[in-house]
Structure 1
């Protein structure tokens, strides 16, 4: 169930941009502040000192930096390393109505190919997040000037109270990483570059790559441009931002590829193989020493054919290994595969 990025061989490298965007990076950092545990950054989040009033205002806008993000946190018209003031001025130059429409993007559900807004659906999604968010989104829909001003003031407050120091320490390295990745696409090809970004990406064929996620989706890169955005706060996610009329945004960990992410098929096959009590018995039987199917059948009072069938299913899933000893086949538990199953599942879901 991966995402397929197709048309790789037909994407002109000249249509690849990179940006070290302070606004996008702020969005990534705010996401971590809201959900530090699955990023492994609980201590970092606790170290961020913010005034109570700012923290309360951030809580009202957290929905803009969740899985689906407000447009300003998901794409950028800039290239290279724009300044904070440049990006904020660009947002302030837009009409409240346009910016409000971009802010409510997360309330529209899954990414859409159209910019049209179903106001009733947006209201329904907003109300499900509580009365404060419901009222805020209602104002964005009906009288956006004031809530848009609040949002822009919030960004400015984050910058002055905290994020300016964070950005100044990291911007040069992020810009260098983006340039490096674009140069890699020109030198070694777009597939090689995409695979270098994250362990969830692998080559499918000469014209496409796979991104291991739990959604099924096909994105044709030949029909659009590509925006590369390295981030110090996106891991363990690999963010694919689909904004109508904009390049596909890839926000990826600046530290590099990391470990390979298992496929959904691999994880599901292992979960399915364990979804029977007798197969758990098989795992226990071969956990401490290799055993044959006949020996297990005798020890556990099961029919040998049934035991063999279960062991073969566990072997196909990679949870048990088989080793021939003369005319016998001995089975042993693959402890690493079993102990990593929870981590593998979490890695896949979090991508």
Structure 2
């Protein structure tokens, strides 16, 4: 699974690396709503939450589905401006003006993605299509009363919701984001400058690889592949490719591939990870390897000390070929290390790799 971007005919000067205050505000709201996604921001989240006005905190819950899951395409409005010439603004006020330039149809379609899980579509939207309108209301009702109420207002009075969202974002800026942005923009500007210089000297492939090891470029096929647990396809067409850095976004790597909008890669900078994240294929291999009860028992022993195949055979009461097959699966998934000690070959669980998959499993095998 992956998101693919067709870049046939894309000129280097049409690739722009630009920080976006509105996108960063979206990530700030996401971190405040889902602090578990961002353990490195717990201090900041606690500080903001402690001093947040209760009325603003209540308003933050009214439509948090727009940023709780990840964040809505509404936080990247420049990608939807016709002509593909718009870039992120230097200030939040400039980007809110760009948000106002989206048509009601664009605004509603983007807002419905998370309020009622409406899929991307190329045809008329629910403001025009009565069938899609009914479907949106049904999906919103299934998600809860807040989503249902928001969707009803969105479909009957888009200007009211647009005005509410603009005022809410301005109030968030006054309450906590302006202070955060005054610090973050320097790091993001420096990263954008570095990536732009890298693009000029080394090309697009190395620039995207520097943004995230999950992004690769097939120059022969003129295609970018972003390794994600989602499927999507878009094209730059005659427009630009936008790369938007985020300081608050790690570990999220987002790709905007909405039909009719320019593609945007929203990538984290200053990631605290010590090693490159595994590919989706490697992650699937690891989860499959660990799902077998025999391999879980093998991991229990290999977590404590190194064992030979012969030792595991005796301990588990299985044949050597059976143990070897299970060891092979674990080794292919990158979960164990193997070393030779004289005549013996010993296997041991790579605790650091398993810990990155989840503490519950690690605690279970070490219990």
**Same fold per superposition (TM over 0.5):** yes
Q: What's the offset of the Cα at 1:340?
A: 3.2
Which residue in the other structure is 1:57 paired with? 59
Tell me: CA distance 1:135–1:217, structure 2 relative to 1, closer, same or farther (3 Å). Answer: closer
2:183 paired with 1:169? yes
| Superposed CA offset, 1:14-70 (max 9, x none) | 222233322222111111111111111232112112211111111112122244644
Q: What's the offset of the Cα at 1:288?
A: 4.2
2:307 paired with 1:291? yes
2:39 paired with 1:25? no
Count of residue pairs brought into register by the alignment: 343
Q: Is the 8 A contact 1:18 1:79 kept in 2?
A: no
Given candidates 236, 241, 244, the residue that maps to 2:251 is 236
Which residue in the other structure is 1:139 paired with? 153
Which segment drifts farther, 27-36 or 258-267?
Answer: 258-267
Q: C-alpha separation between the residues in 2 aligned to 1:299 and 1:164?
A: 61
Q: C-alpha separation between the residues in 2 aligned to 1:15 and 1:230?
A: 17
Tell me the TM-score normalised to structure 1 length.
0.84
Where does 1:288-327 land on structure 2 (aligned, <5 Å)? 288-324=304-340
Q: Residue 334 of structure 2: SS of its match in structure 1?
A: coil
2:200 paired with 1:198? no
Q: Residue 109 of structure 1: SS of its match in structure 2?
A: coil
Q: What's the offset of the Cα at 1:12?
A: 1.0
Q: Is the 8 A contact 1:174 1:230 kept in 2?
A: yes
Q: Residue 28 of structure 1: SS of its match in structure 2?
A: helix
Q: What's the offset of the Cα at 1:193?
A: 0.7
CA RMSD in angstroms comes to 3.0
Q: What's the offset of the Cα at 1:239?
A: 1.1
Q: Is the 8 A contact 2:77 2:98 kept in 1?
A: no
Q: C-alpha separation between the residues in 1 aligned to 2:112 and 2:20?
A: 21
Q: C-alpha separation between the residues in 1 aligned to 2:183 and 2:351?
A: 42
Which residue in the other structure is 1:116 paired with? 125
2:224 paired with 1:215? no
Q: C-alpha separation between the residues in 2 aligned to 1:3 and 1:146?
A: 34
Tell me: CA distance 1:127–1:302, structure 2 relative to 1, closer, same or farther (3 Å). Answer: same
Q: Is the 8 A contact 1:16 1:227 kept in 2?
A: yes
Q: Is the 8 A contact 2:248 2:268 kept in 1?
A: yes
Given candidates 260, 263, 267, the residue that maps to 1:248 is 263
Which residue in the other structure is 1:84 paired with? 92
Moved >6 Å (runs of 4+): none
Q: Residue 358 of structure 2: SS of its match in structure 1?
A: helix
Gaps in structure 1 of 5+ consecutive residues: 346-351
